[in-house]
Amino acid sequence: MENKDLLKTGLEIDIVDRLKVLEKMKEKGYNPYPYEFDKTNDVKEIVNDPDKFMDKYVKIAGRVYSVRKHGGIVFYDIKEEGYRIQVVIKKDITKNFEDAYEFIQRGDIIGVYGKVGRTKAGELSVFAEDWIILTKSLISLPDQWYGFTDVEERYRKRYLDLLMNDEVRRYFEIRFKTISYVRKYFENLGYIEVQTPVLQPIYGGANAKPFITYVNDLKENWYLRIATELYLKRYLVGGFNKVFEIGPDFRNESIDVTHNPEFTMLEAYEAYANRDKMMEIVENLIYGIAKDIIGKDYIEYNGKKISLKPPWRRLTMYDALKEYANIDVTKLSDEEIMEIMKQNNIQLELKEYNRGLAITALFEELVEDRLIEPTYIIEHPKESTPLCKLSRKDPSLVERAEGYILGVEVTNIYSELNDPILQNKLLLEQAKMRELGFEEAHLYDQDFVEALMYGMPPTGGIGIGIDRVIMLLLGIKSIKEIIPFPMVKKKTESEAVKILTKYTSNKDNKS
């Protein structure tokens, strides 16, 4: 006769075992999911100042990471908010010892009441006199020795990644502290944090492909924003002088080590400022994040320390091409530029040649990844953006800066265009580019042009990719490591939930 248990997977055996324990708990009158627990202290407090708590009674809570049973004594390692402490239950001091011995399993969240002390081996511990299971875990945690290392599973189940990998938890603590730091930085400069719509009737503010959605009540296609720029500028038209927003943008483009379709951007705009002032604001901000949050004002790269201390290097795009690619575009004809593009397998999305976009493409392909030291690339071809003032030095260029660290673009900065006549002309040219196959060209936003007709003051504007900055400062190779829940291929079914349903669907689930 076939043994059905032999057909079960390890996951199924684990879940079934835990469901049996759950039922036994209920039979004995325990609620495996109580409503609250009145802690007296965090584990962090005790770990950071053990002498203060020695021989004192505490009520603490945490998740069980390991269980070591030795007859009439059990040692549990519990963690809370990244801090670990040992809990000891003993037959002669712990209430309902036998139940604790049987019911508490790895992964459970428990609360304990007991005295702080040390074991004979000197381990800081709470000697529990009473205990409670606060949450019964129905799946064992991944093995603590082998860890949780499958990359796609880590991204898909970030909650487990955070539980099992202390370094990942540290990354996200730094991420959230960084966002808080950025917010305070701009508030201290007199900026006001504002909000702009995530759903927009016309997307704009960047060259990108959007995500499209349909608004049933309006019977219209709308878009997830690709940038906050055009709405933030409307605030300046409306009389706000310094505004910023930190939030998600969405671009329906590639997913790779520096791109995720949903990402966090900071955009800030200051009336009466220009590109040069905004460059100073950005370099001081990134330097401050590194020094105050990460704890060092440099990045380690190939055994070298790359200083982030301002001022960063300023280099025109033409000079960068000359220095890093040995190409002097000022001396080249269009035919010669096209030949260099052909040699390097560089193609434009346009159906016809455009000199400014061709020069920009040469820079992106041949220079970008060589900009290791913090560098601002200034004076871009005017065709690269329709939202920036023309350069005062050369009307074929715009007063724009892109900031690079370790070959990755981290910021985009403009002296913002506020001439409605020129803005209208440039957006109409963008519309023609779309007709020529440039899908990422800006849409013609007449409402924005009308806003400029009422008058926007001279303005400096910046955009900073928060995810990229944190990634670079931490020396992380993939942006997905610093985005809490990055985009991965959809997986709608769960083997664990199938097993749970199989064994519980016909049972009363009331605790």
Q: Which tokens sit at 87?
A: 């809990």
Considering only CA atoms, which of 391, 390, 388, 411 is closest in space to residue 469? 411
Match 């992964």 to its residue by tokens: 107
Q: Which residues contact 399 (CB under 8 A, 6 or more apart)?
A: 274, 275, 378, 379, 388, 389, 390, 391, 392, 414, 415
Q: Which tokens sit at 145?
A: 């020795």
Query: Residues 98, 103, 107, CA angle at the centre, nearest 5°?
Result: 140
Phi-psi region of 427 (alpha: psi -120 to 50; beta: other; left: phi over 0): alpha
Bridge partners (DSSP) of residue 397 are 381
Considering only CA atoms, which of 382, 343, 376 is closest in space to residue 360? 382
Considering only CA atoms, which of 369, 198, 410 is closest in space to residue 286? 410
Are residues 370 and 377 in contact, defined by beta-carbon separation less than 8 angstroms? no
Report the C-alpha gap between 186 and 507 in whole angstroms: 55
The annotation status of 409 as a binding-site residue, yes or no, is yes
The annotation status of 245 as a binding-site residue, yes or no, is no
Are residues 264 and 248 in contact, defined by beta-carbon separation less than 8 angstroms? yes
Bridge partners (DSSP) of residue 242 are 270
**Residue 71 burial class via C-beta count within 10 angstroms: exposed 0-12, middle 13-18, buried 19 and up:** exposed
319-332 as b/e: b if 16+ CB within 10 A: ebbbebbebebeeb
Query: Residues 135, 172, 45, CA angle at the centre, nearest 5°?
Result: 60
- Which residues contribute to the annotated binding site? 402, 409
- Which residues contribute to the annotated binding site for Mg(2+)? 402, 409
